[in-house]
């Protein structure tokens, strides 16, 4: 799928990672592809020949993203898929549309997400950040699994964050129904869920040729931070100081550098048999919370997620 390139950590860009890579004949689906890291991921994959499905909530904005990709990749093979991860009905409809026209999926990039939002619930009653960042992707991935297996070796890339260190999963109250809402605890929970989901995906699908990776992209100025105030950023900095490692917030990356680890996870040959890893700066990272890499917790989250979706 790719050849090994020399990488330089936090400053590496998507084009650096994909230099010499040819994804012709491969199909990738990227959620949240209408802007930010998702748009850059779609552009980078299309530039090296992949047929890319841009999945996002706003069709008009996604069509604008298609135009933006074609400005730099005129012959890009692109499709638009309407997908609102905060609605299980929308996820099911999107999966049905994709399955109706595709038998194989080589790369699934679960990129979309929300961050530190005011309290809200999804269309199905889940806390907004857990529902969007984890449960929507959980259902989408489950529904698309037959196409990933058909394309094996295939890969799933789940965007998480160093913010997972803020909080474990709130096992007794994941939807903040009995406790006061804390936007950072809710965000941390959802990002921990992304890592645990990766681990259990690898356990279930890795032996069948579908490998999963959790990616921390770093600090990037995108629309993801639209809800953040200066006070929020200060609070985030304090939490980063008290987290494992205690180094505080890293410097901001450019969008092409922020998406580099995503495309590395999607294509690096050295990761071919090393699924279930937590990645950052185009490398395997050990800077993660212990609760996010616990196999028993990963299985527990999978079972809880299935139950929550079934009861919605």
To the query of whether residue 187 is one of the catalytic residues in this protein, the response is yes
CA nearest neighbour of 261 among 112, 44, 66, 35: 44
Q: Whose structure tokens read 């549309």?
A: 97
Give how far Cα 268 sits from Cα of 1, 43, 215, Å. 8, 18, 13
**Largest distance between two CA atoms of the chain:** 53
Percent helix, strand, coil in the chain, to 5, is 50, 15, 35
Helix H or strand E segment including 239: helix 230-242
- Cα torsion for 275, 281, 287, 290, to the nearest 10°? -30
By residue count, the chain amounts to 312
DSSP state of 92: H
SS3 182: coil
DSSP state of 132: I
Per annotation, catalytic residue among 181, 187, 213, 278: 187
User: Is residue 228 within 8 Å of residue 292, measured between CB atoms?
Assistant: no
Catalytic residues: 187
């Amino acid at each position: 799928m790719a050849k090994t390139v020399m990488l330089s950590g936090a400053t590496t860009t998507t084009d650096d990672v994909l230099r010499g890579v040819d994804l012709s004949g491969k199909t990738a689906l990227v959620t949240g592809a209408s802007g930010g890291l998702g748009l850059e991921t779609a552009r980078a994959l299309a530039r090296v020949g992949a047929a890319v499905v841009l999945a996002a909530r706003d069709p008009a904005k996604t069509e604008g993203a298609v135009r933006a990709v074609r400005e730099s990749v005129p012959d890009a093979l692109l499709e638009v898929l309407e997908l609102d991860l905060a609605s299980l009905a929308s996820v099911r409809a999107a999966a049905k549309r994709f399955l109706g026209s595709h038998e194989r999926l080589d790369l699934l990039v679960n990129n979309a997400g929300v961050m530190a939002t005011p309290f809200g619930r999804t269309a199905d009653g889940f806390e907004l950040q857990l529902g969007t960042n984890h449960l929507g992707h959980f259902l989408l991935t489950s529904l698309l699994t037959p196409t990933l297996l058909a394309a094996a070796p295939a890969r799933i890339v789940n965007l998480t964050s160093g913010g997972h260190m803020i909080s474990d999963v709130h096992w007794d109250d994941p939807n903040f129904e009995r406790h006061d809402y804390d936007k950072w605890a809710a965000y941390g929970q959802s990002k921990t869920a992304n890592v645990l989901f990766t681990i259990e995906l690898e356990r279930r699908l890795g032996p069948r040729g579908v490998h999963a990776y959790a990616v921390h992209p770093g600090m990037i100025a995108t629309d993801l931070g639209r809800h953040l105030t200066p006070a929020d950023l200060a609070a985030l900095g304090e939490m980063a100081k008290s987290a494992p490692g205690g180094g505080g917030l890293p410097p901001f990356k450019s969008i092409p550098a922020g998406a580099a680890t995503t495309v590395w996870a999607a294509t690096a040959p050295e990761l071919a048999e090393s699924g279930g890893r937590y990645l950052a700066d185009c490398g395997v990272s050990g800077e993660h919370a212990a609760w996010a890499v616990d196999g028993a917790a990963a299985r527990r989250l999978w079972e809880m997620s299935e139950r929550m979706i079934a009861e919605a």
